[in-house]
Chains A and B, each alone.
Chain A
Amino acid sequence: MKPSEFEYHAPTTIDDAVRLLGTLEDARVLAGGQSLMPMMNFRYLMTTHLIDLNGVDALTRIEERNGRLHIGAMARQRDIELSPLVTQRAPLIRDAYQLVSHKQIRNRGTLGGSLCQLDPSSEQPCFTAALDGVLTIARHEDGAVATRELPMSDWALMYMTPALEEGELLTGISLDIWPAGHGYAFEEFARRHGDYAIVGVAALCTADAHGRLDRVSLTVCGVAPGPVRMHEVETALRGRPMDEDALRIAGDAARELDVMTDAHVSTDYRQHLAGVLTERALKTAFSRVATKS
């Protein structure tokens, strides 16, 4: 099983990468390769040009800027997982990465690659949506690099199809930083450890000094082409105490989600999982909240 022939390009700057992508006919980018290479090995996917992004160091940065966490599209999943900055500012991410595949995959895989692959069951689009991610997309225009920003909520066009035009490159992701002491949890159900989630839930919350919920973020993956933010529930939970009623409200709403059916899992089962995992994730998030004084 070997890929079909292609021409290989190894740019070292964002400018070069974007220019190549914008000017070569039938070109694809190689990020971590953990999704792309299997498809190329199977010859599902064939391309004339392969643009290897692994030499573009500028795309690997993980930093805090203007109150948001900025992660370059080529940052290795393992680096993000182990980053002290990420653990401090967005502990949800480290929790989520414990469930993402295996170390060998995370050592090479990238956040940008996962977002572009956009598997419905993938944990990374899920936490990106939970953290109100904003994506930076670059393209080659008039001999220079032009960029646009897109909120994660607009990223999924349909199954495994992100809102990337031909010749565009995802360069970075910025994420909300929740205040210190916020509650967080990532729960998922998969048949084997490391598998894509059948259903996964990312929960974030803060509470006031009286233990009443202030801000809530609840995102479900594995039920639709893109991660589903449960905005109505988030609003409904504001001001409520972190109790069984809150869990029930969230769980019931999750069970009512419009979900997809596939060969592996029925609609009923997915809805059931969504309900149970939402309650579990919220419960854990509640337990982690350090109430403001």
Chain B
Amino acid sequence: METRTVRVVVNGTAYEREVEPRRMLGDFLRHDLDLTGTHYGCEHGVCGACTVLIDGRTARACLTLAAQMDGHTLTTVEGLAGADGTLNALQKAFAECHALQCGFCTPGMLMTLTELLNETDSPTEAEIREAITGNLCRCTGYQPIVAAALLAAQRIREQRAAAPAAQATE
């Protein structure tokens, strides 16, 4: 079986692998790159657990072929925390607000909300709920997830407001 070369940057690191054409992106991440943070729930695009960012936009890793990612840039849940493992604002808010229980939907939720927070720094509750319609959660009932997103957005705004002042003092 003919393989395809995939040169892809994931969370800032460049990888080059040979893949079967039918290798799905989710399997590529989990098995070929050992990035098991991305989860498979339904494998047909409806649950959102496998959501990743492709060139900054959310997409289902279960509906994308690894071969299609040649030349592209990906962000997965492993790319959210700092290099030293410090959780980012959204992740911290999730932990504080109990926005996860079993954690299975969480990577997808985080990537979807990351995209939202990249698009707008003041999402309304309605916008948050709209954004996560494509991510199913069986544990939390979504309330704490929405709360975490609002909290994270608030903290990010505060950080940005404080940042210029901090820079001025350096």
Which residue on A lies nearest to B58, using beta carbons? A104
With contact pairs A38-B45, A38-B63 given, residues A103 and B1 touching in the complex (Cβ less than 8 Å): no
- A3's contact among B1, B22, B130, by CB below 8 Å, is which? B22
CB-CB contacts below 8 Å: A85-143 with B: 101-105, 107-108
**Quick check: B134 and A102 within 8 Å, CB to CB?**
yes
Residue B89 interfacial (CB < 8 Å): no
**Quick check: B68 and A105 within 8 Å, CB to CB?**
no
Residue B65 interfacial (CB < 8 Å): yes
**Quick check: B43 and A1 within 8 Å, CB to CB?**
yes
Binding site for A on B (CB under 8 A): 1-2, 4, 20-22, 24, 27, 43-45, 48, 51, 54, 57-60, 62-65, 67-68, 112, 115, 130-131, 133-134
Chain A min CB distance to B6 (Å)? 11
**Residues of chain A lying within 8 A (CB to CB) of residue B43:** 1, 41
Q: Report the separation of the CA atoms of residues A282 and B112 in the bound assembly, to the nearest whole angstrom.
A: 34
- B21's contact among A7, A78, A105, A107, by CB below 8 Å, is which? A7
Q: Report the separation of the CA atoms of residues A8 and B134 in the bound assembly, to the nearest whole angstrom.
A: 29
- B134's contact among A1, A5, A103, by CB below 8 Å, is which? A103
| Across the A-B interface, the 5 shortest Cβ-Cβ residue pairs | A102-B134, A8-B21, A38-B44, A37-B63, A104-B58
- A104's contact among B2, B20, B44, B59, by CB below 8 Å, is which? B59
**Quick check: B63 and A108 within 8 Å, CB to CB?**
yes
CB-CB contacts below 8 Å: A1-53 with B: 1-8, 10, 30, 33-34, 37-38, 40-42, 50, 52
Residue A271 interfacial (CB < 8 Å): no
**Quick check: A104 and B112 within 8 Å, CB to CB?**
yes
Q: Report the separation of the CA atoms of residues A6 and B60 in the bound assembly, to the nearest whole angstrom.
A: 21
**Quick check: B24 and A104 within 8 Å, CB to CB?**
no
**Residues of chain A lying within 8 A (CB to CB) of residue B27:** 2
With contact pairs A34-B45, A41-B44, A52-B68 given, residues A103 and B4 touching in the complex (Cβ less than 8 Å): no
- 11 additional A-B pairs beyond A33-B65, A194-B133, beta carbons within 8 Å, are A8-B4, A8-B21, A33-B63, A37-B44, A37-B63, A41-B24, A103-B58, A103-B131, A104-B59, A108-B59, A194-B134
Q: Report the separation of the CA atoms of residues A279 and B101 in the bound assembly, to the nearest whole angstrom.
A: 45
Chain B min CB distance to A73 (Å)? 17
**Quick check: B133 and A41 within 8 Å, CB to CB?**
no
How many interface residues does chain A have, given as a range?
20 to 34
Q: Report the separation of the CA atoms of residues A30 and B65 in the bound assembly, to the nearest whole angstrom.
A: 10
**Residues of chain A lying within 8 A (CB to CB) of residue B133:** 102, 192-194
**Residues of chain A lying within 8 A (CB to CB) of residue B51:** 104
Q: Report the separation of the CA atoms of residues A30 and B64 in the bound assembly, to the nearest whole angstrom.
A: 10
Chain B min CB distance to A258 (Å)? 31
**Residues of chain B lying within 8 A (CB to CB) of residue A6:** 21-22
**Residues of chain A lying within 8 A (CB to CB) of residue B2:** 7-8
Q: Report the separation of the CA atoms of residues A54 and B59 in the bound assembly, to the nearest whole angstrom.
A: 14
Q: Report the separation of the CA atoms of residues A194 and B64 in the bound assembly, to the nearest whole angstrom.
A: 20
- A1's contact among B1, B4, B44, B130, by CB below 8 Å, is which? B44
A-B contact list, 9 entries, CB within 8 Å:
A1-B43, A6-B22, A7-B2, A7-B21, A41-B24, A41-B43, A52-B65, A104-B58, A108-B54
- B64's contact among A5, A33, A193, by CB below 8 Å, is which? A33
**Residues of chain A lying within 8 A (CB to CB) of residue B115:** 103
**Residues of chain A lying within 8 A (CB to CB) of residue B112:** 103-104
Q: Report the separation of the CA atoms of residues A196 and B110 in the bound assembly, to the nearest whole angstrom.
A: 26
Which residue on B lies nearest to A192, using beta carbons? B133
- A107's contact among B4, B20, B57, B130, by CB below 8 Å, is which? B57
Which residue on A lies nearest to B56, using beta carbons? A107
Which residue on B lies nearest to A36, using beta carbons? B63
Q: Report the separation of the CA atoms of residues A3 and B48 in the bound assembly, to the nearest whole angstrom.
A: 19
**Residues of chain A lying within 8 A (CB to CB) of residue B134:** 101-105, 194
- A5's contact among B22, B57, B62, B130, by CB below 8 Å, is which? B22
Chain A min CB distance to B117 (Å)? 13
Which residue on B lies nearest to A54, using beta carbons? B68
**Quick check: A107 and B22 within 8 Å, CB to CB?**
no
